[in-house]
Structure 1
Amino acid sequence: MNFQLINWLAVVVAALSAFLVGGIWYSPAVFANAWMADNKLTSAELQASSKGRAFGFTAFFSIIMAVNLAMFLADAKTDLAWGTAAGFLAGIWTFCAIAIHSLFELKSWRLIFINGGYSVVSLTLMGLILGAWR
């Protein structure tokens, strides 16, 4: 791995893309209602929760994910196709981890696909950004 081949601005943009995907994915127009129902959460509970904590840790972990993926892609031969494929494969990896934890937590398959699907889509987009922006 060659750290000089990592585009750090692309890493930041890739991490921010997870917020964009999450904002759409977990919006009321897409999966918010099903996600809330399967987690047995109400709008009032979400409104009362700490947004700073949730978004702060989300930013922190998104940066770690983007840096980690960028490290795997730190090769002169990395391009858009390989970046996208690597992001997708990383998403499958995390989907499986989410599924394993969720099954032991007795979560529904719908929730597994909602959360795991977000992971696949967001990591695929991260890989696309990192691969394209060399």
Structure 2
Amino acid sequence: MEFNFLAILVAALSTLVVGFVWYNPKVFGTIWMEGAGLTLEQTEKGNMLKIFGLTFIYSLMLAFIMPILTIHQMGALGMIGGPDFIASAKPSYLAFMADYGDAFRTYKHGALHGFMSGIFLALPIISINGLFERKSWKYIAVQAGYWIVIMTIMGSIICGWK
């Protein structure tokens, strides 16, 4: 099983594409700005190169961990020590991969695991931060919803794209 760097890049880029739509004032942008205490003018004054550049780097970090969360075969690969040890793996690993190497490697299955990751990772983290920051439930829902959608899309891309 080879690491699909192109899928990682596309998954990371999906955060920017979805964010462009999600945080548009005609979708959830107005709710988000209100909850964050920002005006449209304030959002336009930010250093966009820095904001989008760091967003992409952080999205790459998230995309790099998604294979572990969405591809079952990564567990078997981890048990032998990683890709460098495939040549010296026991015959049982090779037999397992021959039988199950593509099992559950679909876009739909990746979306399921991405969605579950969003619900059980992103939602609690965003909600805890929002509670301590005294943010509204609408703001928390917009933020958490974005990450649930993103992780669903990332999981789909990374698991399904072989």
TM-score over 0.5 (shorter chain): yes
Report the aligned-residue RMSD. 1.3
8 Å CA contact 2:69, 2:114 repeated in 1: no
TM-score using structure 2 length: 0.76
Larger deviation, residues 74-83 vs 85-94: 74-83
Which 5+ residue runs of structure 2 have no aligned equivalent?
74-100
Question: Larger relative contact order (C-alpha < 8 A, sep ≥ 6)?
Answer: 1
Residue 103 of structure 1: aligned partner: 131
Residue 107 of structure 2: aligned partner: 80
The yes-or-no answer on 1:133 pairing with 2:130 is no
> How far is 1:5 from its partner?
3.2
AA aligned opposite 1:46: T
The yes-or-no answer on 1:40 pairing with 2:37 is yes
Residue 25 of structure 2: aligned partner: 28
> How far is 1:24 from its partner?
0.5
> How far is 1:72 from its partner?
3.2
> How far is 1:73 from its partner?
3.4
> How far is 1:86 from its partner?
1.2
> How far is 1:69 from its partner?
0.4
Residue deviations 1:46-89 (CA, integer Å, cap 9, x gap): 11111111111100010011111023334233322321111111
Q: Percent identity?
A: 35
Residue 62 of structure 2: aligned partner: 65
Larger deviation, residues 69-78 vs 6-15: 69-78
Residue deviations 1:94-122 (CA, integer Å, cap 9, x gap): 11110011101100000000000000001
The yes-or-no answer on 1:113 pairing with 2:141 is yes
CA distance in 1, matches of 2:26, 2:66: 29
Q: How many residues align?
A: 131
Which 5+ residue runs of structure 1 have no aligned equivalent?
none
Residue 89 of structure 1: aligned partner: 116
CA distance in 1, matches of 2:140, 2:3: 32
| Matched position secondary structure for 1:45 | helix
| Matched position secondary structure for 2:27 | coil
Bigger Rg, which one: 2
Structure 1 runs of 4+ aligned residues shifted over 4 Å read none
| Matched position secondary structure for 1:29 | helix
8 Å CA contact 2:66, 2:155 repeated in 1: yes
Residue deviations 1:29-53 (CA, integer Å, cap 9, x gap): 2011111111111112111111111
